[in-house]
Homo-oligomer: A and B are copies of this chain.
Amino acid sequence: MPPRPQLKPRKRPSQARSKATVEAILVAAAQVFQRHGYVGATTDRIAERAGVSVGSLYQYFPNKDAILVALTERHINAGFALVRELLAEALNEAPPLERLLRQFVVAMIALHEQEPELHRVLFEEAPLPPSVRRQLRKRENEFATEVCAFLRAHPEARRHDAKATAYVVVHTVDALVHNFILHPPEGLGSDALTEEIVRMLLGHLTTNEAS
């Protein structure tokens, strides 16, 4: 267990051919991580699945964890993009808070429902390096800040400690949905959960309090 080596690619692909190779490796990695878990996902297996040689793989990724990281970052980016998109759509209509919240929860569920097993491996099983976890938290905070700004602006929202509220709102939805999709409890459907979350958050956001 020597100090964790670098995570950046040693060569940047320039020709179309090599770009395709990198893409194939990432796609294959997603499949292999999904099917075999973090430990079972060997570089040999990923290369084989990608239809390239191990040597090629190591041209673009200095080690196994670099693949994990690249994959995770891509996954995170796609996730935020999707949620933002769905939210932006909803925001165009200047909707009531309840509708917006429901939209948010639904978007998060949709997000977690695609490739849930990959999601589980990446975020629950794999030893994501601290740098990546930090980055993820940073993105979450940015997102919470947006939510925060929105909350101040929305006519229905009444709370004072917008920072704490935004933190709680964003993380509550994320955590509950994450748990629900990845470890579905018996006797509780996603509709019921959505309703419950929406009611709770709506109440929380619209209750005025002399702090």
Interface residues of A (CB under 8 A from B): 1, 36-40, 124-125, 127, 133, 137, 141, 161, 163-165, 167-168, 171-172, 175-176, 178-179, 183, 185, 187-188, 192-193, 195-197, 199-201, 203-204, 207, 209
A175 touches which of B141, B179, B185, B201 (Cβ 8 Å): B179
* Smallest CB separation, A119 vs chain B (Å): 14
Q: Chain B contacts of A199 at CB under 8 A? A: 204, 207, 209
Q: Chain B contacts of A161 at CB under 8 A? A: 192, 196
A204-B209 contact, Cβ under 8 Å, with A127-B125, A193-B164 = no
* Smallest CB separation, A53 vs chain B (Å): 21
Q: Chain B contacts of A185 at CB under 8 A? A: 137, 141, 167
A133-B183 contact, Cβ under 8 Å, with A125-B127, A188-B164, A203-B207 = yes
Q: Chain B contacts of A36 at CB under 8 A? A: 1
A125, A167, A178 — which one has the most chain B CB atoms within 10 A of its CB?
A167
Q: Chain B contacts of A204 at CB under 8 A? A: 199-200, 203-204
CA distance A158 to B185 in the complex (A): 23
Contact residues of A: prevailing secondary structure: helix
A167-B193, A199-B207 are known contacts; what are 4 more A-B pairs with Cβ within 8 Å?
A38-B127, A164-B195, A168-B176, A200-B201
* Smallest CB separation, A32 vs chain B (Å): 12
Q: Pull 14 A–B residue pairs with CB atoms less than 8 Å apart, ordered by A.
A: A37-B127, A38-B127, A137-B183, A137-B185, A161-B196, A163-B187, A164-B192, A164-B193, A164-B195, A171-B175, A171-B176, A175-B179, A200-B203, A203-B207
> Across the interface, do A172 and B176 meet the contact criterion of CB distance under 8 Å?
yes
CA distance A204 to B169 in the complex (A): 14
CA distance A77 to B23 in the complex (A): 45
A141, A163, A203 — which one has the most chain B CB atoms within 10 A of its CB?
A203
Q: Chain B contacts of A179 at CB under 8 A? A: 171, 175
